[in-house]
Amino acid sequence: MATGNLRVVVLWHMHQPFYKDLVTGDYRLPWVRLHAMKDYYGMVKLLDEFPEVHQNFNLVPSLVEQIRDYASESFHDTFYDIAAKPAADLTPEERRFALQYLFHANPDRMIGRYARYRELYERVRVAGPDPARAAVNFTLRDYTDLQVLSQIAWMDEYYLQAPEIRELVRKGRGFTHEDQKLVMRKELEIIERTLPAYEAAAKRGGIEISTTPYYHPILPLLCDTNAGAASSPGLPLPRVRFRHPEDASDQIRRAMDSHEQIFGIRPKGMWPSEGSVSDEAVAIAAANGVEWMATDEGVLSRSLNFNFQRDGERLRAESAATLYNIYQYEKDGSRMKMIFRDHRMSDMIGFVYAGMPAKEAAAHLLNNIKSSAAPVLESGRDAVVPIILDGENAWETFPESGREFLRRFYEGLQNDPAIEPVTISEAIERHSKDRFGKLTGLVPGSWINANFNVWIGAREDNRAWEYLAEARDYYDANASKVKPEQQELAYEELLIAEGSDWNWWYGPEHHSANDRDFDELYRKHLSNVYQALGGVPPEHLARPIAAGVARPMVVPQTAFVRPQIDGYATSYFDWMGAAMFTSDQRGGSMHGKQFLLDAAYAGVDEANVYGRLDFASSIDAKEWQIAVQFSTGKEGAERQTYRLEMQVREAKLDGWVLTQNGKKMVVASSEEPKGVEAAMQKLFEFKMPFELIGAELESDINMRFVAIRDGLPLDALPVEGSLDLKVQPEEELAMNAYSSAGD
């Protein structure tokens, strides 16, 4: 029997929220500009070296709009202005701003790449959370070096090879204002070249550019917030139902139109925001001319009632045959071609390969693709392997923006005659007409746990939806009373507020240094709706939605975690799905209580337990200890207790020991780790093999973190009880999300 063809479709999703305030024209955060400097241009430019490797890029229209704005050089970005301003002209407040925001980069791969940048970073870090403490010792030369290096650290690898920039890197320190101006000119040059590079690659046939609804909304929730409970029965919903399928249609139509205007061709395909689909959303997309859509294997699993099974990282034969196919969706007259990403393989790129040598990582991925698809090919069928992931954030954790890894991966794809790296439209065209899978309905879901719990269900999420619904109703009632230009501005602000990114940061799942900025910007967009229509924004829009220290205290584990153990918040996704306990510092009115520990995270995968401890403030001692207390065992059985104790000296980890039953029976130590990993920098993290603490499938693991100085426990998380885990398959952990939705 002849073997089938192996086709690999890689889709890089490029997206940032809409950071611009349409009323003031200001960019609240700089991430579009920074990622345009570092990722967007280089990712497509790299393919010039591999003409036979066809790729897919999904460009969110609101991102493209912001890139065009920066390329026009008519933007107002405070972060840019402060990086460009002569250090001698910086006000005290601007200097504080520089020390707070110009270190927003990966400490190891980006800051640590430049010795002087690392030196400045360490000086600010040891000064504590208030930048004013570090500012006392910062000279004008320090500020200029920071301004220049904070931009070089985000610069594309191709531009780092330009003679002028290479000379600045060689120089290393002591930069002049002329050096500063050169760097700022170069970054705008990169941005100006970005979209033309994509257009040229698409015209050559090397890439396919797909789109997303304009401002990146969760389509099923835009159609009807009740879709949240359709994917998670029992999920608490907003008190005010939001149901505007006409807005979903407009977001898609605008995306299709703007794509055609900019790139000269109407897009065929769409990665819906966060891979979010439902029958209603697919029907609206089809009505707007979308020919294919992509989402996650979890949605396919639930829609087919089929459980994907793996041996390690590789799909078993029946699972591979089910996933590595293209599906023809047909329901109520709507038709759509659909592909479903290999979740595990995609996540390996995002979260695992950065910690491996590039050659080994690329070889592992290529071998994984071929071995996973082998059973399908041997049956005589074609295998379409979809790898879909974020095309920008992952590279912050790779050496040199992941370029060596990508080159070795692309080289392997190009040189292996058994693999066809194709666009999604090419894969559809080449697929045997009688081999398409059949789909007659979808369980609503996204790429995260095949539900929408990240964006709806938690109190903060639901409040955000309620405020959006109120603003939408206000628009309907008042738009006809004002001038067309006022209507247009108000409606545009509504569409921006419908984007998914605001609720990404609300609720218990995700937190960042910019939580307050996201909260304020979301409420500003809604306030602008009322103001544009001549009204007064409701008073509640002046108050934060994010609850600050009143965050939900306990979150159960909902997915496997496999964090990089390096002592830094390396990626937002590292601890996604982990159990979390946050300290309740509202009790601070009781004088004398020290809040040293801010949050504890814990989680398991197939073979290990992981823990993370975030600090609320520094511990004023040269030597102290962190103890992690474990209790393990199955229900009804005798429990075993263990203690992992870390010695901290001068804010650095200085050895550790794991003992059993509170005795001096040493199980492992820093001299003989036996698979244990521990790291402490900005935070503390560890990895512990199950076998060292007697854990196995169905075991309960209870954990408690304690900070100790001079033999006294200064603070603990939790103060009472424990952070509780259960060793379960990942699909069972996912059910915790439903049972805890109202917490």
CATH number of the domain where residue 421 is located: 3.20.110.10
Same domain, 666 and 542: no
Q: CB of 308 within 8 A of CB of 277?
A: no
CATH number of domain containing 564: 2.60.40
The confidence score (pLDDT) of residue 388 equals: 97
Phi, psi dihedral angles at 152 (to 5 degrees): -60, -35
Domain count of the chain? 4
Indicate whether 541 and 559 sit together in one domain. Answer: no
Which residues are within 8 A (CB) of 78 and not within 5 positions of it... i.e. 6 or more apart? 26, 27, 97
Q: Are residues 669 and 559 in the same domain?
A: yes
Q: Which residue is it, tokens 């139509």?
A: 253
Residue 633 lies in a domain: yes
* Same domain membership, residue 223 and residue 74: no
Calculate Rg over the CA atoms of the chain. Answer: 26
By residue count, the chain amounts to 743
449 contacts 88 by C-beta, under 8 angstroms: no
Q: Assess whether 613 and 642 both reside in one domain.
A: yes
Q: Give which of 191, 189, 212, 158 is closest to 67, Cα–Cα.
A: 191
d(CA 600, CA 250): 42
DSSP-based helix, strand, coil % in the chain, nearest 5 = 45, 20, 35
CATH number at residue 526: 1.20.1430
Helix-then-strand count for the chain, H and E: 27, 27
User: Residues 83, 189: one domain?
Assistant: yes
Read off the tokens for 405: 């890894």
Q: In this structure, are 402 and 339 located in the same domain?
A: yes
> Using CA atoms, how far apart are residues 192 and 74, in angstroms rounded to an integer?
12
Look at residues 650, 649, 641, 700 and name the one whose alpha carbon lies nearest to residue 670: 649
Strand 6-14 to strand 383-390: parallel, antiparallel, or no bridges (unpaired)?
parallel
Task: Answer yes or no: are the C-beta atoms of 17 and 393 closer than 8 Å.
Answer: no
Name the helix (H) or strand (E) containing 330. Answer: strand 327-331
Closest CA to 741 of 239, 302, 228: 228
Sites in the chain below the pLDDT cut of 70: 1, 548-553, 572, 583-595, 618-621, 662-664, 710-714, 719-721, 737-743
* CA dihedral over 120, 123, 129, 132, signed as positive or negative: negative
Q: Tell me how far apart the alpha carbons of residues 394 and 35 are, in angstroms, rounded to a whole number.
A: 11
Determine the pLDDT at residue 621: 66
Question: Which residue segment(s) compose the domain that 523 sits in?
Answer: 459-546
Q: How many C-beta atoms lie closer than 10 Å to residue 727's C-beta?
A: 21
Please indicate, yes or no, whether residues 172 and 227 belong to a single structural domain of this protein: no
CA 543 → CA 505, 585, 716, distances in Å? 16, 20, 31
Do 523 and 563 sit in the same domain of this protein? no
> Is 486 a member of any domain?
yes
Contact 667, 643 (CB under 8 A): no
User: Which of 497, 530, 546 is at the close of a domain?
Assistant: 546
The encoded tokens of residue 697 equal 């499938």
Neighbours of 484 (CB within 10 A): 8
In a domain, 31, yes or no: no
Name the token pair of 48: 């010039």
Q: How far apart are the first and last CA of the chain?
A: 56
**Quick one: 76 and 127 in the same domain?**
yes
What is the C-alpha separation between 203 and 226, in angstroms, rounded?
42
In a domain, 386, yes or no: yes
Enclosing H/E stretch for 84: helix 78-84
**Domain-ending residue, one of 503, 529, 546:** 546
Same domain, 431 and 538: no
**DSSP SS3 for 370:** helix
Residue 58 within any structural domain of the chain? no
Q: Which tokens sit at 362?
A: 């690329």
Confidence at residue 133, expressed as pLDDT on a 0 to 100 scale: 85
Query: Dihedral of CA 36/520/583/714: which sign?
Result: positive
Has residue 450 been placed in a domain?
no
- In whole angstroms, give the CA distance from residue 236 to residue 742: 6
Q: Do 726 and 698 form a contact (C-beta atoms < 8 A)?
A: yes
pTM value surpassing 0.85: no
Q: In whole angstroms, give the CA distance from residue 212 to residue 215.
A: 8
Please answer whether residues 252 and 290 qualify as being in contact, where contact means their C-beta atoms are separated by less than 8 angstroms.
Answer: yes
Helix (H) or strand (E) holding 270: strand 269-270
pLDDT of 714: 67
Q: What does the alpha-carbon distance between residue 104 and residue 131 come to, in Å, rounded to a whole number?
A: 13
- 639, 632 Cβ separation under 8 angstroms: yes
Query: Residue 584: what pLDDT?
Result: 55
Same domain, 416 and 469: no
Cα separations (Å) of 643 from 263, 379, 637, 664, 683? 60, 52, 20, 10, 19
In a domain, 47, yes or no: no
Q: What is the largest CA-CA distance in the chain?
A: 79
Q: What is the pLDDT of residue 593?
A: 40
User: 385 with 342: CB under 8 angstroms?
Assistant: yes
201: in domain: no
| CA atoms of 459 and 551, how far apart (whole Å) | 10
Whether the CB-CB separation of 390 and 347 falls below 8 Å is answered with no
Give the C-alpha separation, 95 to 88, whole Å. 10
Q: What is residue 288's three-state secondary structure?
A: coil
